Amino acid sequence: MPKPKPTLDLASATTIVVASMIGAGVYTTSGYSLSALQDPRLVLLAWVVGGIIAICGAIGYASLASRFSESGGEYLFLSKTLHPIAGVMAGWVSLLAGFTGAIAVAALSLGQYLAPMIPSMSLSDTTIAISCVGIAGILHAIGVRFAARVQDTIVIAKLLMIVAFILFAFASWDQWAGKSPQISVGMDQSPIDKVFVFAKQLVWISFSYLGFNAAIYISGEVRQPKRNVPRSMILGTICVTVIYLLLNATFVFAPSAETILQDENLPQIAAVAAQSLGGDLLETFVRIVIVVSLFTSVSALVMTGPRVYAKMAEDGFLHNWFAIHRTTPTRAILFQSAAAMFAISISTLTELLGYLGMTLSLCSALTVGTLFLLKKRGEAIWLPGKGIPALIYIAATLILAGLYGFSEPRSAIATCVTLLIGLVAYPFFNKKTVTEPQDL
């Protein structure tokens, strides 16, 4: 089977990270977080904490990416450091949650923001979302270089539009109606209740940061992967964290809290903020920015996910139908697109956010934890900050998952079921063993 020739540079890898991160969560989560936390300052604090955790996670993944230069993501890392069964479980998590669920969330959010802009077409959110996934699937089935160039251009345009909105918003500082808290700060809650509520919002927010590891799924198609993949994850995560903080400061402070907390405004807080600052014209501009942003998220996920399935097929844990043929895993891309379309047709946005945040964070924490296993084995592994950032990511993720699972047992059960699917499926797909890691 021919290996794909590396065609992506550091800029392309970084834009894939940025595109994967800036998605549905940042444009929807803060409205719900403000409703729960009852203080815009706490909402912004949650985004700060989430950003610090994500940067620590990106540093941990960068260490692993400097050791393994193949595509495959968590599946590859866990298979070669723990056991193939751990890799298969991670692969199923990617299939069911990491990509299929995340694509569905981004596409559904895109439909919610686009539909009001084209009322004459009378298209439902679901129809728009399915069409978006179909376009992205066709684009990436054509070829990785063409799709990457298109995506680079769109991501750059998206970032310029986001920066333009942020500059306009901060230039209109005097018009911000929510600079002083205007609602109660939940004084009727006990300290324990406040901790659980804050943890729940952090789990939701963590979903918005989870694309920081996107470059590891296409390592085999990046030039100088041991150098460029780690750099792309760290650079992309820092860039997105800064953007998130500036955006969310605008979202929660520009409109009045009473306006945000109206039920119909909670899932569209970005449009509400734009309306409060610049009326209908700025709201339309922001909707366009969000639609472009969400399409690039869908595109990045449709591009990266099939590389995991192709690697699993190469190792014998999925049918060879999913493998890379010529230079692109075309069949896996079409399968991923079809699975996302199915998820869109049977799910809602709110049903997916908590489940995805918890499931994917736990899988990422386990992956970062393999760094210390490699170190214990005596392997030469790069550990920035003596491994402290990686430890922070693991500890924070486990604590948040425990608190969230205690308060939302249904999501915890769904996460356990997802992991068990990979465990049960392993004997049926164990056609050959993944060998111990060699110097790559």
DSSP track, 265-310: GGGGHHHHHHHHHHHHHHHHHHHHHHHHHHHHHHHHHHHHHHHHHH
247-260 burial, b at 16+ Cβ within 10 Å, e below that, comes to bbbbbbbbbbbebb
Task: Give pLDDT, residue 437.
Answer: 41
Reference 242, options 154, 172, 166; nearest CA is 166
Task: Give pLDDT, residue 434.
Answer: 43
Q: Report d(CA 99, CA 300) in Å as an integer.
A: 10
Reference 239, options 20, 7, 30, 9; nearest CA is 20
Count how many domains the chain has: 1
Q: Judge whether 437 lies within some domain.
A: no
Q: Judge whether 436 lies within some domain.
A: no
Residue 187: CB atoms within 10 A of its CB come to 7
Apex CA 13: angle with CA 9 and CA 19, to 5°? Answer: 145
- Collapse the DSSP code of 349 into the 3-class scheme (helix H, G, I; strand E, B; otherwise coil) and give the result: helix
Task: Give pLDDT, residue 44.
Answer: 94
pLDDT tens-digit readout, 314-348: 777 777 788 776 667 888 888 889 989 988 887 66
Task: Give pLDDT, residue 4.
Answer: 53
Apex CA 238: angle with CA 178 and CA 25, to 5°? Answer: 55
Q: Judge whether 199 lies within some domain.
A: yes
Q: Report d(CA 372, CA 394) in Å as an integer.
A: 11
Residue 188: CB atoms within 10 A of its CB come to 8
Domain that holds residue 152: 10-428
DSSP letters of 72-111?
A: -HHHHHHHHHT-HHHHHHHHHHIIIIIIHHHHHHHHHHHH
Task: Give pLDDT, residue 380.
Answer: 67
Task: Give pLDDT, residue 48.
Answer: 96
Q: Judge whether 352 lies within some domain.
A: yes
One-letter amino acid at 161 equals: M
DSSP designation for 315: T
Task: Give pLDDT, residue 392.
Answer: 95
Q: Judge whether 5 lies within some domain.
A: no
**CATH number for the domain harbouring residue 203:** 1.20.1740.10
Q: Report d(CA 136, CA 300) in Å as an integer.
A: 9
Q: Judge whether 195 lies within some domain.
A: yes
Do residues 296 and 158 lie in contact, with contact meaning Cβ atoms separated by under 8 Å? yes
Task: Give pLDDT, residue 258.
Answer: 85
Per-residue pLDDT tens digits of the chain, which is 440 residues long: 455 567 788 888 888 888 778 877 788 889 889 888 888 999 999 999 999 999 999 999 988 888 877 766 787 888 888 888 888 788 778 777 778 888 888 898 888 888 888 887 778 888 999 999 999 888 777 765 666 667 677 778 878 888 999 999 999 888 898 776 555 544 456 778 888 889 888 888 887 888 788 888 778 778 888 889 899 999 999 999 999 999 999 999 999 888 888 877 887 889 899 999 999 999 999 898 888 888 888 887 888 778 777 877 877 777 778 877 666 788 888 888 998 998 888 766 666 666 777 788 888 899 999 999 888 888 867 788 889 999 999 999 999 888 888 877 887 888 888 777 777 766 765 554 444 443 43
Q: Judge whether 101 lies within some domain.
A: yes
pLDDT tens-digit readout, 234-247: 999 999 999 999 99
3-state secondary structure 380-429: CCCCHHHHHHHHHHHHHHHHHHHHHHHHCHHHHHHHHHHHHHHHHHHHHH
Task: Give pLDDT, residue 274.
Answer: 92
Do residues 21 and 212 lie in contact, with contact meaning Cβ atoms separated by under 8 Å? yes
Q: Judge whether 181 lies within some domain.
A: yes
Task: Give pLDDT, residue 275.
Answer: 92
Q: How far apart are the first and last CA of the chain?
A: 18
Q: Which two tokens stand for residue 394?
A: 């693991």
Q: Report d(CA 220, CA 30) in Å as an integer.
A: 36
State the pTM of this model: 0.79
